[in-house]
């Protein structure tokens, strides 16, 4: 009896030890093409990531994980709202002094504009086939690929709003009971808010925003601003990425997330490498990293939707297959987004 226990204990111990060893031994195991890319990237030494599609906190986490995975390649995340980030990228392209390497946006019209000016580097990631089939298509031309699945829903503060009172549809936000209590963003700053505005206009007409205006919403620059106002209780409800809502609930913040019955809004997101990127190999390595299992784990940990196949969704994360998704066609959005910004300014006076 005693010996069995001992043996079991020993087994557990050794199993643990070997699995630790396996883990330790695993991390430097790069695939041959990856090793080659990594060595080239090490010579470049760093990568600058212009990003608007995540919060800065998450962007920094991504960078830190990248640095752990590929020691010797320093990663700097420069996070701002979509149009501010795009402005910086365009400024660099115009000044012929590109300093950023990788650009990630929640408004893929940016990539159409960049590719028109030959400002994108063509690179089809080796790991593109790992991607979920429905995400893979956008990246076939090798200029950019879908890099973020972050649908927008409604987040409310549970300390201020009872569950049965919470809005269930986008049109519920027009109810006068939310006067002075809704948080949104400005499409002139937030790229994804521009996409949201197009999607809402297509579904409900511009009257949707005229009515929303009567409810005197808080207009932030980033969509994350409205979300943080709900967390702090400054506003009761906000249009926000559901992933932020889910993660906040999990970490104990007083918020709940609603998947609106009239459809989650999925902003078309993308990541591409700038043509004159000073660190092209590091940039390619970073793109590969975004399609790696390590990155998928980080996404899952933060209750964000993975990009690659074979990743199980954790509890509390509803699969997106069963819900209606509102999307915007990037081709037509490219011509409409400036117009929609002006319309927004006219309606909201800012």
Tokens, residue 256: 């709940």
In the complex, minimum distance from the CB of residue 220 to another protein, in angstroms, rounded to a whole number: 6
Beta bridge partners of 79: 51
- Nearer of residues 234 and 262 to another protein, judged by Cβ: 234
* Residue of 102, 224, 255, 340 that binds another protein (CB under 8 A): 224
In the complex with another protein, which residue's Cβ is closer, 135 or 277?
Answer: 277
60 makes contact with another protein (CB under 8 A): yes
Q: Which two tokens stand for residue 200?
A: 């809402």
Q: Under rule CB under 8 A, which residues in 19-48 are in contact with another protein?
A: 48
Contacts of 192 (CB under 8 A, 6+ apart): 53, 82, 106, 107, 152, 185, 223, 267
Rule CB under 8 A: say whether 218 interacts with another protein: yes
Query: Distance between CA atoms of 142 and 2, rounded to whole angstroms?
Result: 62
Binder among 29, 96, 319, 322 for another protein (CB under 8 A): 96
CA–CA gap between residue 229 and residue 302 (Å, rounded): 20
Q: Which stretch binds another protein (CB under 8 A): 5-13, 163-171, 231-239, 261-269?
A: 231-239
Tokens (6 digits) for 135: 């995400």
Is 276 a residue that touches another protein (CB under 8 A)?
no
Number of residues that bind another protein (CB under 8 A): 61
Q: Beta strands of 171-288 (E only): which ranges?
A: 182-185, 218-220, 237-241, 255-258, 264-265, 270-274
The yes or no reply on residue 50 touching another protein (CB under 8 A) is yes
Q: For residue 125, what are its two tokens?
A: 């990631």
Judged by CB under 8 A, the stretch of 17-25, 60-68, 166-174, 299-307 that binds another protein is 60-68
Q: Which residue has the tokens 């660190």?
A: 279
Q: Which pair of tokens denotes residue 3?
A: 């010996």
Q: Which residues lie near another protein (CB under 8 A)?
A: 48, 50, 55-57, 59-61, 63-64, 75-81, 83-84, 86-88, 90-92, 94-97, 99-100, 110, 113, 180-181, 186, 188-189, 218-222, 224-229, 231-235, 253, 338, 345-346, 348-350
């Amino acid at each position: 009896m005693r010996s069995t226990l001992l043996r079991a204990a020993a087994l557990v111990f050794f199993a643990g030890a070997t699995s630790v060893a396996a883990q330790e031994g695993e991390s430097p195991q790069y695939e041959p093409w990856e090793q080659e890319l990594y060595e080239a990237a090490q010579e470049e030494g760093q990568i600058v990531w212009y990003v608007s599609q995540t919060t800065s906190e998450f962007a920094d986490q991504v960078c830190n994980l990248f640095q752990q995975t590929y020691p010797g390649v320093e990663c700097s995340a420069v996070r701002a709202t979509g149009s501010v980030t795009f402005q910086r990228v365009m400024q660099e392209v115009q000044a012929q002094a590109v300093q950023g390497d990788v650009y990630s946006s929640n408004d893929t019209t940016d990539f159409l504009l960049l590719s028109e000016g030959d400002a994108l580097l063509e690179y089809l990631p080796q790991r593109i086939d790992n991607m979920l089939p429905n995400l893979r298509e956008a990246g076939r031309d090798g200029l950019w690929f879908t890099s973020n699945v972050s649908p927008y829903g409604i987040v409310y503060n549970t300390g201020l709003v009872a569950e049965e009172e919470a809005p269930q549809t986008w049109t519920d936000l027009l109810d006068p009971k939310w006067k002075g209590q809704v948080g949104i963003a400005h499409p002139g700053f937030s790229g994804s808010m521009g996409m949201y505005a197009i999607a809402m206009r297509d579904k409900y007409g511009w009257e949707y925003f005229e009515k929303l205006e009567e409810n005197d919403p808080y207009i932030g620059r980033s969509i994350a601003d409205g979300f943080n106002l709900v967390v702090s209780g400054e506003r009761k409800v906000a249009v926000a990425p559901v992933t932020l809502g889910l993660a906040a609930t999990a970490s104990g913040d007083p918020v709940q997330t609603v998947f609106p019955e009239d459809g989650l809004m999925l902003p078309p997101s993308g990541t591409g490498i700038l043509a004159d990127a000073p660190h092209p190999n590091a940039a390619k390595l970073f793109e590969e990293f975004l399609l790696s299992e390590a990155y998928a784990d980080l996404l899952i940990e933060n209750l964000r939707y993975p990009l690659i196949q074979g990743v199980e969704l954790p509890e509390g994360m509803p699969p997106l297959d069963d819900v209606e998704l509102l999307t915007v066609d990037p081709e037509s959005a490219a011509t409409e987004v400036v117009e929609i910004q002006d319309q927004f300014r006219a309606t909201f006076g800012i």
